[in-house]
Amino acid sequence: MSQTKTKIAQRISKEINDGDVVNLGIGIPTIVCDFIPSDIEVHIHSENGLVGLDKEAAEGFEDKDIINASGKYATIKNTGSFFDSAMSFNIIRGGHLDMTVLGALQVDSKGNIANWMIPGKLVPGMGGAMDLTVGAKKVICAITHQTKKGTSKIKQECNLPLTAAGEVDLIVSELAVMEVSSEGLILKEIAKEVDVNEVIEKTEAELKISENLKQF
Amino acid sequence: MGKVIDMQELDKFFDDEMRIMIGGFLDCGTAETVLAYVNQLDLHSLTIIVNDAGYNYKSKGKFLATADINNIITSHIGTNPDVGAKMNNGEIEIELIPQGTLVEQIRAHGAGLGGILTPTGIGTKAEEGKQIIEVEGEKHILATPIGADIAIIKAWKADKSGNLIYRHSAKNFNPIMAMAADTVIAEAENIVENGELDNNNIMTSNIFVDYLVKSKPEN
């Protein structure tokens, strides 16, 4: 696991409160689980039909009928429950999820998020991502700040097809924590390793610097 | 008439150009035994309704990658490169629908509803070509019912009358699809005598199930 991803996941874990119902997407969001303090109780929802998702199954203890949304063999807490896909998305759309954490290809100053297709290149489909972004009370985007080529993924405006319009509340990268507001992105925290100018330089979207800028 | 049938009896229910629903989330809760059998029937121009395209090398995904299919209505094909390739070369037309909308469209058919209204997909490609209806000031997409000629579903336990119990996260689309097709074929890992299942634990009533086939442990 790269340090970049760990840093993002660790910071996001601090947003989770005792008793929250949380859905974690594929990739960096999955790692968030590892940093949730043991003294709080969190109900992890998995779109394929369970609440109370626990760790991946240990080798030799896989059960073909318990998987997570990535298709990996998983386990369930003894207080968890299983249900069908209609119920699973009732939970998602119906406002019963406190938070969802999703990865993205791009995210922008208006809280738009794009993570389900690159026209002409990659069309995996949206799966449950459109429902999660619309339904969850708080949407956190976990994203590496730039592409491998050094282009900012945090845009003034997304140019890839959207997963949802205006639904993202918080963007967490390895360099910054940015809140989506009606006036654009507010830079709330910067990583200890960088200064503000570097973050601004590496971000396509315009950033308003919080008066109370912190480090993480 | 008994609902428990031999695999060979399945032939007569299938035809070219049929709309077929397949239960399961990836490989979990998918009727592998029935799909392997159906895949060697000489069927053409099928339309498939399925949550995702599975994995190209086994089970549901192998069926989707190799059968003669014109259309797939689904939420995700990213795990099946063969289906992706067939989409790109125009062999299969893929209609991508958000997962929560897809399951509600199937439920709507089985529940006798004219569709459902969902805020999911507003402001995205998912709203293209769809009727938008405003409810209490918020835009919703009208998603119309989706039914099928046949649903192929998977249960853990069945009694001979067709009552079904699913196990763990293998429930997913199965109980919803059980209500939405003209003919429902359920594959069950265990088939027990009537009366052996506790009435309180039945998850899909036998009134929805037309035929039962026993799973083979390995395909």
pLDDT tens for each residue of A161-174:
999 999 999 999 99
CATH class for the region spanning A3-215: alpha beta
B78 contacts in chain A (CB < 8 Å): 122, 124-125, 127
Which fold does the domain B17-114+147-214 belong to in CATH? Glutaconate Coenzyme A-transferase (3.40.1080)
Residue A120 — pLDDT band, cuts 50, 70, 90? confident
Mean pLDDT across B97-113: 98
**Is residue A59 flagged as an active site residue?**
no
Asked casually if ipTM beats, i.e. exceeds, 0.85, the reply is: yes
pLDDT confidence tier of residue B218, bands split at 50, 70 and 90: low
C-alpha closest to that of A132 among B100, B152, B162, B85: B100
Chain A residues with CB under 8 Å of a chain B CB are 46-50, 63-67, 69, 71, 76, 82-86, 88-89, 92-93, 112, 122-131, 134-135, 161-166
Ranges of each domain in chain A? 3-215
Select which of A15, A47, A167, A174 is catalytic: A47
Contacts of A164 in chain B (CB under 8 A): 123-124
**What per-residue confidence (pLDDT) applies to A26?**
85
The residue among A48, A93, A42 whose CA lies nearest residue A66 is A48
Using DSSP, state whether B151 is helix, strand or coil: strand
| pLDDT tens readout for residues B6-20 | 999 999 999 999 999
User: Quick count: other Cβ atoms within 10 Å of Cβ B73?
Assistant: 20
CA distance B178 to B176: 5
Q: Which residue of B has its CA nearest to A85?
A: B172
- Report the pLDDT value the prediction gives residue A161, as an integer from 0 to 100: 97
State the pLDDT confidence band at A121, using cuts at 50, 70 and 90.
Answer: confident
Give yes or no for B79 touching A (CB within 8 A).
Answer: yes
Question: Which residue from A179, A185, A215, A214 is spatially nearest to A200, judged by alpha carbons?
Answer: A185
A86, containing H or E segment: helix A85-93
The arithmetic mean of pLDDT across residues A177-181, rounded, is 98
Contact A48 B25 (CB under 8 A): yes
| Mean pLDDT score of chain B | 97
- Select from B88, B87, B51 the least CA-distant residue to B70: B87
The pLDDT value recorded for residue A1 is: 58
On whether any CB of chain A is under 8 Å from the CB of B163, the answer is no
Question: Domain segments of chain B: what residues?
Answer: 17-114+147-214
Residue A163 near residue B124, CB atoms below 8 Å: yes
